[in-house]
C-alpha cells in the first residue's frame, strides 16, 4: 500500500509537469502546478579567465545573489486533491521535485558531479477541517514549513522545515497556533531526533503590524552522548510600509538548538550559543522605483571559540518601462573570529533586465550582469580550494575579481 501511494503521488506530479504547457491540465479536478527556475551562465574577466566565478565569504550564510549565482536550480511542485468528505474536509497530496546543478561554484568538481534531483516536499494534508477556521490544516510528510527568508541574499533565517507531522494555523481568540513534530531535518541526516516546533502568529501590535513567536525544542536521542537544546524566535512584520513591508527578527539558540532552525547533530552542551538579528525592508515607492535592504548580525560562541558575522546590502531597482529594468546590488559581509583576523567581502553588480512588469518581484526576468568583488587577505586564506577567492582560483593571488553573464529567473 505504501509503495502504491508513493507511486500515485509521483505519477501525479510528473503528469502535471508533462501537462504544464497544455490547456488540458486546467480541467483536472483539484490539480495545481507551480514551479521555480533560475538558469544562466557567465565568464570571469581577467585572471586566468574561464567559467563564471561566484563570491561568498567563508562562514557567512548570505550570498548577494544578483549576478552571483553559478548554480542552475529548479523546483517543480504539484498538488492534487485526493478526496473530499461529506463534512467538507478535503485531503490532498503535494509533491515537489528539485533539480540542482552546481555549475561553476567549484570548477574542479564539475567532472565528477552533474547535480542532483531530490524530493524536498512530499506530504499529505487535510483542509476545511470541521469546526475550525479556513486556514487550519493537518499535515504529515516532508514539508517546507513556515519559512522566512531575505530574498536578495537567498538566506532563510527562520526555516524549521523537515520530515514530520503537525497542525497549522488553529485560530483561538484571534491568534493562530501551530505545532509540528519533526524527526528529520536534512534529507540525508544520519541521526533521527525529535524536534518540537511551536508557533503563535497574529499578535497585533499596531496598524498593519504583527508579531510572530516561535519555540523549538530539540531532544537528544536515547543512547547518544550529548545534550538537547532549544531555539527562540520573535519576528515583527509591518505591512503596507513604503509600498512594501518590513521584517525584523531576533533569534537565540542553545545546545543542540544553536543552529536555530535544525538539530545540531553533535548534541553539544549548553555552552554552545547563537544570537541573530535580521532585518529586511522591501519598498515600492512608485510604480517605477522599488528595492530591498538586507541586514544581519549574528554572534555564535562555544567553549574556547566565538565569531561575529555582519552583513549589510541593498538592491535598488528602477523600471525604465513596462518591460525593462535597471537594477544594482551592493553588499558587504564581515566575519570576525575570536582567534583570527577579520574576513571581508564587498560585491557590486549592475544588471539590466527584460521583465514582465515594473514591480520588484515581477517575473520572468532575463538579466545581463556585470559583477565586481573585492576581498581581503584573511578572506582569501579562509576560502575553499578552487573557489573564486582562493589563491588557486581564477584570480590567483589577487584580492579582487569580475564576471559577466546572463541569467533567467522565473516562478509560476
Q: What is the mean pLDDT of residues 153-167?
A: 97
Domain membership flag for residue 9: no
* Number of structural domains found in the chain: 1
Rounded CA separation 369/348 (Å): 10
Q: Would you state the cell numbers that stand for residue 301, as one nine-digit string?
A: 560562541
Rounded CA separation 91/87 (Å): 12
CATH number at residue 208: 2.40.170.10
Q: What is the chain's percent helix, strand, coil content, to nearest 5?
A: 10, 55, 35
Contact predicate 330/347, CB 8 Å: yes
**pLDDT at res. 189:** 80
Domain membership flag for residue 403: yes
Contact predicate 349/334, CB 8 Å: no
Domain membership flag for residue 28: no
Domain membership flag for residue 334: yes
Given a cut of 80, is residue 371 above it in pLDDT? Answer: yes
162 membership: H or E segment, kind and range: strand 162-172
Contact predicate 90/128, CB 8 Å: yes
- In percent, the amount of the chain with pLDDT more than 70 equals 91
Rounded CA separation 39/170 (Å): 39
Given a cut of 80, is residue 381 above it in pLDDT? Answer: yes
Average pLDDT, whole number, for the chain?
Answer: 91
pTM for this entry: 0.89
Backbone angles phi, psi at 32, to 5 degrees: -130, 145
Q: What is the mean pLDDT of residues 270-283?
A: 98
Domain membership flag for residue 287: yes
Q: What is the mean pLDDT of residues 59-79?
A: 96
Identify the CA nearest to 122 among candidates 154, 75, 85: 75
Q: Would you state the cell numbers that stand for residue 235, as one nine-digit string?
A: 519576528
Domain membership flag for residue 383: yes
Contact predicate 163/141, CB 8 Å: yes
Cα dist. 380→247, 316, 387 in Å? 33, 29, 10
**pLDDT at res. 337:** 95
**pLDDT at res. 49:** 85
Given a cut of 70, is residue 14 above it in pLDDT? Answer: no
Domain membership flag for residue 260: yes
Q: What is the pLDDT of residues 191-201, one digit of tens each?
A: 899 999 999 99
Domain membership flag for residue 167: yes
Q: What is the pLDDT of residues 85-95, one digit of tens each?
A: 999 999 999 99
Q: What is the pLDDT of residues 177-227, one digit of tens each?
A: 999 999 999 877 878 999 999 999 999 999 999 999 999 999 999 989 999
Range of the domain at 212: 37-70+132-411
Contact predicate 374/64, CB 8 Å: no
Given a cut of 80, is residue 75 above it in pLDDT? Answer: yes
Q: Would you state the cell numbers that stand for residue 305, as one nine-digit string?
A: 571559540
Backbone angles phi, psi at 237, to 5 degrees: -115, 125
Contact predicate 90/81, CB 8 Å: yes
Rounded CA separation 8/126 (Å): 17
Q: What is the mean pLDDT of residues 154-183?
A: 97
Given a cut of 80, is residue 275 above it in pLDDT? Answer: yes
Amino acid at each position: 500500500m505504501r509503495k502504491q501511494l508513493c507511486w500515485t503521488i509521483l505519477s501525479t506530479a510528473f503528469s502535471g509537469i508533462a501537462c504544464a504547457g497544455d490547456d488540458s491540465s486546467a480541467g483536472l479536478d483539484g490539480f495545481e502546478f507551480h514551479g521555480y527556475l533560475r538558469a544562466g551562465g557567465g565568464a570571469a574577466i581577467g585572471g586566468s579567465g574561464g567559467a563564471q566565478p561566484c563570491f561568498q565569504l567563508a562562514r557567512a550564510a548570505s550570498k548577494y545573489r544578483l549576478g552571483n549565482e553559478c548554480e542552475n536550480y529548479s523546483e517543480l511542485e504539484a498538488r492534487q486533491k485526493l478526496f473530499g468528505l461529506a463534512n467538507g474536509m478535503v485531503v490532498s497530496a503535494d509533491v515537489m521535485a528539485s533539480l540542482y546543478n552546481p555549475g561553476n561554484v567549484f570548477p574542479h568538481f564539475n567532472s565528477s558531479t552533474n547535480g542532483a534531483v531530490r524530493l524536498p516536499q512530499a506530504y499529505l494534508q487535510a483542509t476545511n477541517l470541521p469546526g475550525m477556521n479556513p486556514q487550519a490544516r493537518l499535515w504529515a510528510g516532508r514539508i517546507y514549513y513556515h519559512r522566512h527568508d531575505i530574498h536578495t541574499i537567498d538566506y532563510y533565517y527562520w526555516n524549521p522545515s523537515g520530515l514530520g507531522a503537525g497542525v497549522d494555523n488553529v485560530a483561538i481568540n484571534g491568534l493562530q497556533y501551530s505545532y509540528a513534530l519533526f524527526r528529520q531535518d536534512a534529507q540525508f541526516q544520519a541521526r533521527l531526533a525529535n524536534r518540537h516546533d511551536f508557533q503563535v502568529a497574529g499578535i497585533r501590535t499596531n496598524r498593519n503590524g504583527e508579531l510572530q513567536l516561535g519555540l523549538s525544542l530539540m531532544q537528544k536521542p536515547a543512547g547518544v552522548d550529548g545534550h538537547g537544546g532549544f531555539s527562540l524566535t520573535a519576528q515583527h512584520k509591518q505591512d503596507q510600509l513604503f509600498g512594501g513591508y518590513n521584517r525584523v527578527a531576533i533569534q537565540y539558540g542553545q545546545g543542540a538548538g544553536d543552529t536555530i532552525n535544525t538539530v545540531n547533530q553533535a548534541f553539544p552542551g549548553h555552552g554552545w550559543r547563537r544570537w541573530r538579528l535580521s532585518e529586511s525592508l522591501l519598498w515600492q515607492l512608485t510604480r517605477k522605483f522599488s528595492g530591498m535592504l538586507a541586514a544581519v548580525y549574528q554572534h555564535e560562541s562555544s567553549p574556547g571559540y566565538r565569531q561575529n558575522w555582519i552583513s549589510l546590502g541593498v538592491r535598488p531597482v528602477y523600471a525604465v518601462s513596462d518591460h525593462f529594468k535597471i537594477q544594482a546590488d551592493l553588499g558587504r559581509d564581515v566575519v570576525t573570529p575570536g582567534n583570527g583576523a577579520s574576513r571581508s567581502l564587498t560585491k557590486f553588480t549592475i544588471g539590466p533586465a527584460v521583465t514582465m512588469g515594473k514591480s520588484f518581484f515581477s517575473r520572468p526576468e532575463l538579466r545581463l550582469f556585470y559583477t565586481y568583488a573585492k576581498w581581503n587577505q584573511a578572506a582569501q586564506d579562509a576560502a575553499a580550494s578552487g573557489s573564486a577567492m582562493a589563491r588557486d582560483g581564477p584570480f590567483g593571488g589577487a584580492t579582487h575579481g569580475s564576471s559577466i553573464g546572463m541569467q533567467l529567473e522565473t516562478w509560476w
